[in-house]
A and B are shown apart, each in its own frame.
Chain A
Amino acid sequence: MKKCSGRIQTAILSAAMCMALAGSMTAGAAESSVKDEDSVKTQASGTEAAAPSEEVTLNFWHHYSAQSPENETLMNDLIPKFEKEHPGITVNAVSHEWADLHDKILISAQSDTLPDVARLDSAWVPEFQKMGILVPLNQEMSDFGDVSGGLLESAMTTAQIGGDSYALALNTNTKILYYNVQGLKDAGVDVPKTMDEFAEACRKLSGTNKNGQQVWGYDEPGLSGWNLCPFIWSMGGAITNEDQTKATGYLNGEKTVAAIQMFADLAKEGAITGWNSGDIPMTDGFGTGRYMMLLEGPWKVSELAGAYPDLEYAVAPVPAGDGGSVSVLGGEDIGMFKSAHKDAAWKFMKFMTSEYAQEAMAKCGQIPCNKEALESDTVKKADFAPYIEQLKTAKSRPTVASWSEIDSKLSEAVTGVVNGDTTAQDAMDQLAAEVDELLAEE
């Protein structure tokens, strides 16, 4: 009996193995057949490219996520339309993760395998410009002036370095004030229009709620430039001078220091929070009424609708100070690399920033940079309509290659001030001196 059950076990085991093997083999076969098709395709396009006619394959790298409506619009609407309008040009679009794309470009730059065109986070442009891989469009493209004239000036500054333009603004965004409608009503606070009113509102809105939980007037999830610039600029301060060559006198100027001091004071009083490791995440805190106000971008709308559909909130412009109501620009640019098929690449870039393409992308929630698209009904009806006004005054963070380092030092310095280790003036004096050194190396 024992022997017999042993045999049965062996039989079962070997049967299972056969099945597993067969399974993996069919999977493998399926995979390889897919691959074959792919290679046939690439071969086909390869021979076309080699043909004497002007057949060009453009490689376009982007970070629209693979499953997003943006990617669908790109693949099923925009690229087919572009290819039809420009016979002979084939666009091979590749989707990457946001962070991967940055590193991938760094690596490809070294191995000389860069794509022709890429959608770039505007914060990367200075880095890549310094590496010397981006084409200065205003110098090489004769109709650059016409094209850039049709795009939002503020967004175009994200790609402007030392008088040259290294990319076209593709889509833009900025932050505006979100507030909890019921929370403000209960506290008898009006929507803050000035920075003084904002500070006062933070104080009044903070405290404890019915359940005895602490409530903060305002949440800021970090202390870097993205977080602080709206306050610094709106209060009349600055990070550097106009030419982005000097920080002393600006970063440690009276008004910048006042903005940092306001942050530190409010933090000390428990009126604002968010940058500590242990704090409630932004969406949850706002959604559950623990944070009464935020500065956030258009993406928050769908996040809140998904997670906290019952939350009653509204939006308003960034509170104004001596500098006006100035928010910080985010968004993406589209640029070409020096190894590109330049004519075809330029045609594609012009297409992607055209009214048609921009309006199509606006339907997926991307704020256009094309001025005509901005006037369209699609935009006027979109969730992001309140942002359009704020965008007119929004500014880009310094377009210098050492920005990420400056940004990190800024966040360190302000952390020290907020924690009470140093005074705002001392921290900013020291920071400005360090940033001067970094800017001198540019």
Chain B
Amino acid sequence: MMKLKGWNKVRVLALLLPGLLIFGIFTFYPIVRLFWMSFFKWDFGSFFDQKFIGFDNYRTVLGDENFRVAFANTIVYTLVTVPAQMMLGLFVAMLINSITHAKIFFRVAYYLPVITSWVIASLVFKYVFNTEGMLNYFLTNVVHVTSQNVHWLDSRWGGMTVAMLLGIWKGIGWNMVVFLAALQQVPQSLYESASMDGAGAWQRFVHVTLPGIRGTILFALVMLTIGGFNVYTSTKLITDGKPGHATEVVLTWMYYKAFSSGKFGYSAALSFIIALVLAVLAVVQFGLMQRKEDD
């Protein structure tokens, strides 16, 4: 690489500055400020006169029963939706990859949920699963499975399941596109030689396809795990944490504590706990993949 001379350095800096400035003001500074807030008693009563309380906010968060419920809900949401999206997305990608006609139609059809607004999709799901909703109408008046309306949204796991279904339905398309691109990178010759060696479809999938798209799997896994922890719109709109706070996820809980209860210090600490969990998860996921590659 060419060494930068004085004038060039200035020019490079000048070009980088706007981007860095925006990053600094809108990303870096808020993060540092938030970290700072998490060590203070920062709520309505102490808005101008915050007291340093060390790790008290962190202790409060970890000892809070509602936080544990929200955290468990988030973990379950991630554990269910991430593998389901990836498997279904990969499955659809392989089907589309192997057909010759109407490829574009199917690609568009499966991608449509991705470009649908989260708000609209959530409201439609809520409408379908309402106690007086479409699904109950179908069950009671069309197929007559039950005469009583089922309260889909009114329990912790009922509400969470609907949110998870929405997450999966909406995520398949993105996975399909990502995996479709990856599948096209796997050399056709590998499949041909595997077939010649007598490998069946399943063996070709395990020994050719999967190793060929390992990088993409890792990428999708990390992105979707972060996405799973970021679930907000769907649960907020479908159940809004009800009943009680049984269907809160970490982000709805964080928002609730900050903007409804005015516990800004609490929410700051909570967001750093989540960030830490996500960082550890990402490191572990990359580590696992690395080790497999070394094998």
A residues contacting B by CB (< 8 A) are: 103, 106, 109-110, 127, 130-132, 214, 275-280, 290, 401-402, 404-405, 408, 411-412, 415-416, 419, 441-442
- For the complex, is B260 an interface residue (Cβ under 8 Å from A)? yes
Q: How large is the interface on B (under 10, 10 to 19, 20 to 34, 35 or more residues)?
A: 20 to 34
Determine if B238 and A277 form an interchain contact, defined as CB atoms under 8 angstroms apart.
yes
Name the CB-closest residue of A to B140.
A212
Known A-B contacts A214-B149, A404-B262, A415-B244; A276 and B131 likewise in contact (beta carbons under 8 Å): yes
- For the complex, is B261 an interface residue (Cβ under 8 Å from A)? yes
Determine if A278 and B129 form an interchain contact, defined as CB atoms under 8 angstroms apart.
yes
Name the CB-closest residue of A to B263.
A405
A123 CB → nearest B CB, Å: 11
B residues in contact with A275, CB < 8 Å: 242-243
Determine if B45 and A441 form an interchain contact, defined as CB atoms under 8 angstroms apart.
yes
Nearest 8 pairs of A and B residues by beta carbon: A278-B131, A278-B153, A277-B153, A276-B154, A415-B244, A131-B47, A277-B239, A412-B244
Q: Identify 14 new A-B residue pairs, CB closer than 8 A, beyond the known A408-B260, A419-B243.
A: A109-B48, A127-B44, A130-B44, A131-B48, A132-B47, A277-B239, A278-B130, A278-B132, A278-B154, A279-B130, A279-B132, A404-B262, A408-B261, A442-B45
B residues in contact with A442, CB < 8 Å: 45
Report which of A132, A290, A411, A441 forms a contact with B48, defined as CB distance below 8 A. Answer: A132
Determine if A276 and B244 form an interchain contact, defined as CB atoms under 8 angstroms apart.
no
CA distance A106 to B47 in the complex (A): 9
Name the CB-closest residue of A to B241.
A277
Determine if A279 and B244 form an interchain contact, defined as CB atoms under 8 angstroms apart.
no
Determine if B243 and A277 form an interchain contact, defined as CB atoms under 8 angstroms apart.
yes
Name the CB-closest residue of B to A284.
B132
**Interface of chain B residues 15 through 56 with chain A (CB within 8 A):** 44-45, 47-48
Known A-B contacts A276-B154, A277-B153, A408-B260; A416 and B244 likewise in contact (beta carbons under 8 Å): yes
Determine if B151 and A278 form an interchain contact, defined as CB atoms under 8 angstroms apart.
yes
Report which of B47, B238, B245 forms a contact with A412, defined as CB distance below 8 A. Answer: B245
Name the CB-closest residue of A to B133.
A278
Could you list 28 examples of A-B contacts with CB < 8 Å?
A: A103-B259, A127-B262, A131-B45, A131-B48, A275-B242, A276-B151, A276-B154, A277-B153, A277-B154, A277-B243, A277-B247, A278-B131, A278-B133, A278-B151, A278-B153, A279-B130, A280-B130, A290-B132, A405-B261, A405-B262, A405-B263, A408-B256, A408-B261, A412-B244, A412-B245, A415-B244, A416-B244, A441-B45
A residues in contact with B152, CB < 8 Å: 278
B residues in contact with A404, CB < 8 Å: 260-262
Determine if A110 and B47 form an interchain contact, defined as CB atoms under 8 angstroms apart.
yes
A residues in contact with B45, CB < 8 Å: 130-131, 401-402, 441-442
B168 CB → nearest A CB, Å: 20
Report which of A131, A280, A416 forms a contact with B132, defined as CB distance below 8 A. Answer: A280
CA distance A276 to B244 in the complex (A): 10
A295 CB → nearest B CB, Å: 20
Name the CB-closest residue of B to A419.
B243
CA distance A172 to B133 in the complex (A): 36
B residues in contact with A405, CB < 8 Å: 261-263
CA distance A415 to B247 in the complex (A): 13
